[in-house]
Amino acid sequence: MQAVIMAGGKGTRLLELTKDEIPKPMTPICGKPILQWQVDRLKENGITDIIMIIGHLGHKIIEYFGDGSAQGLQIRYIEEKNPLGTAGAFFYLREMLTEPEFLLVFGDVLFDIDLQRMYRFHIEKRSFATLLVHPNAHPFDSDLVVTDENDRILHFDSKHNVRDYWYDNCVNAGIYIFDASICNKVAQPVKTDLEKQLLSGMIEQNEAVYAYRSPEYIKDVGTVGRIQTAEKELESGYIAARNLKNKQKAIFLDRDGTINRKNGLVSQEDQFVLEECAVEAIRTINKSGYLAIVITNQPVVARGLCEIEDVERIHNKMKTLLGREGVFLDEVCFCPHHPDKGYPEENPKYKIPCHCRKPDIGMIRQCAKRFNIDLSQSWMIGDTTVDIKTGKNAGTHTALVLTGDAGKDGKYDDTPDMICKDLLDAVKRIVGK
């Protein structure tokens, strides 16, 4: 696979560092230009044929990298005399691409990602365009991606929209895999917006555009503050550790009674209220290197109290409330099934035995495969003996919190590794705070 880097930015927000003497992608992070970090990651993933689209002070990039041979690469350039937006240069790419797919990277992102894993997803989905998406700590000022249950993209939610609704923390991260024929959609070398024109048009035409969700590290380093943060994360080893080639640790979280107050069977969004400690607890997980993953039974669907869409709205409320506080969940999984019959208004479609309902471990097993999680180094936190049994079945450590049911459901006799006041107490003890 070939790679294309959009390296034409001026970077007005980085003038303090660039002095307008170097282009934005050459801004140093820990003494090395952003572009060099990107090139190093591409090479690690077996990508050695790179095309850079340059503009403002582009000669500085050419002077630094040359033809790439000194680094065992082939690097070629497309120079934009006039800015062509995020996709106008695709017109010129048609003559330079020789492989069926190419990777596109924006020149102001720092990343450490298993790109081969993303490529496998692209091929398995038979996708024409695949976008890397992730949760982040500021979804309220980010462009969001709205998907269906199969990760197919339905539409984009611009950061400029007035969001008077709950939303999924699913952010367009600025890395893409495209079928090379996408370049044929740009018939003239004119300013073209990748998201608003090309991708949105493809979605409207029902072309295969998918979102690849990953908890790996990718950060827009377009401000001085974000560069300073990235430098600390590089030096600590945090960035490299998040690559899914490496085994991950996770804290699996029950929902009702653990993250939100126990309020009977929560079937409507107005019934969902966060526990007071939830934000700080999840913030602590985000900073620790553990993944934060919700694993919850939601029999309200099988009982006929609500639909799948209602549960998803509740979860979007949870993600929105957390996002407003600068914290995020890496994944939310729920089981809508309930095997026992005889309830009024029950939905027979979901009244079935399954392998996802806790204490079975189908949801945990799925996440472990998807995110390369070492379950022996992970934890399950919940307020019921069902949660403790689930953790034991999965081979994780377990923590019972004294909120919600506080272990009084009495369904199982398994002893937790820890009994904690609440979610924050449990997380602090796990991560050593």
Mean pLDDT of 174-187: 96
Of residues 306, 310, 379, the one with CA closest to residue 338: 306
Q: How far apart are CA 141 and CA 90, in angstroms?
A: 28
Q: How far apart are CA 110 and CA 70, in angstroms?
A: 22
Residue 132 CB: number of other CB atoms within 10 A? Answer: 26
Residue 114 is a catalytic residue: no
264 touches 305 (CB < 8 A): no
Residue 254 is a catalytic residue: yes
315 touches 328 (CB < 8 A): no
Give the per-residue pLDDT at 433: 64
Q: What is the largest CA-CA distance in the chain?
A: 74
Ordered structural domains, the chain, with CATH:
2-236 (3.90.550.10), 247-431 (3.40.50.1000)
What beta strand segments (E) does 215-290 contain?
217-220, 250-253
Give the per-residue pLDDT at 343: 78
Instruction: From the candidates 114, 179, 254, 360, give the one annotated as an active-site residue.
Output: 254
pLDDT per residue as tens digits for the range 211-220 = 999 999 999 8
Instruction: From the candidates 114, 151, 157, 256, give the one annotated as an active-site residue.
Output: 256
Helix axes of 385-394 and 362-371: crossing angle, nearest 10 degrees: 50
pLDDT per residue as tens digits for the range 228-268 = 999 999 999 999 999 999 999 999 999 999 999 998 899 99
Give the per-residue pLDDT at 258: 98
pTM of the prediction? 0.94
pLDDT per residue as tens digits for the range 21-38 = 889 999 999 999 999 999
Q: What are phi and psi of 329, to 5 degrees?
A: -105, 140
Mean pLDDT of 193-208: 96
Token pair 């959009």 is found at 6
Sequence-distant (6+) residues with CB within 8 A of 164 are: none
The sign of the CA dihedral 58, 60, 66, 70 is: negative
pLDDT exceeds cutoff 90 at 345: no
Answer left, alpha or beta for residue 290, where phi above 0 means left and psi between -120 and 50 means alpha.
beta
